[in-house]
Amino acid sequence: MKRKAKTPKPPQEFSSPDVPTVYCTECGTTLENFCFARAAEDLKAIRKTLAQCKKQGKFSGEFCSKLFIAHPEILDDPQESDDPH
């Protein structure tokens, strides 16, 4: 008796498939273990860094990767994701 092959589940998407979210990754290698860093717990400092990146023109994306890593629920609140403070 043959068993039916399991079909893999499609990956869960956090955004609409029509409009993918573009994350800024200008931080480069500092993102590698950011979720384990103590800095990931300080949302105020992350928002301050994001404001500086935007001011200096370094921010390239729609959303800050560090902010998402530290607080993924933030995508549920579009008002908060636009506000770096």
Nearest C-alpha neighbor of 19 from the set 75, 66, 69: 75
pLDDT of residue 12: 47
Q: In sequence order, what are the residues at sequence separation of 6 or more whose Cβ sits closer than 8 angstroms to the Cβ of residue 15?
A: 21, 75
Q: List, for residues 6-61, the tens digit of each pLDDT value.
A: 665 554 444 455 666 788 888 877 788 888 989 899 999 999 999 999 999 888 88
DSSP state at residue 80: H
Q: Break the chain into its structural domains and give their ranges.
A: 42-78
The overall pTM is greater than 0.85: no
- Dihedral of alpha carbons 17, 71, 84, 51, sign: negative
At 37, is the secondary structure helix, strand, or coil? Answer: coil
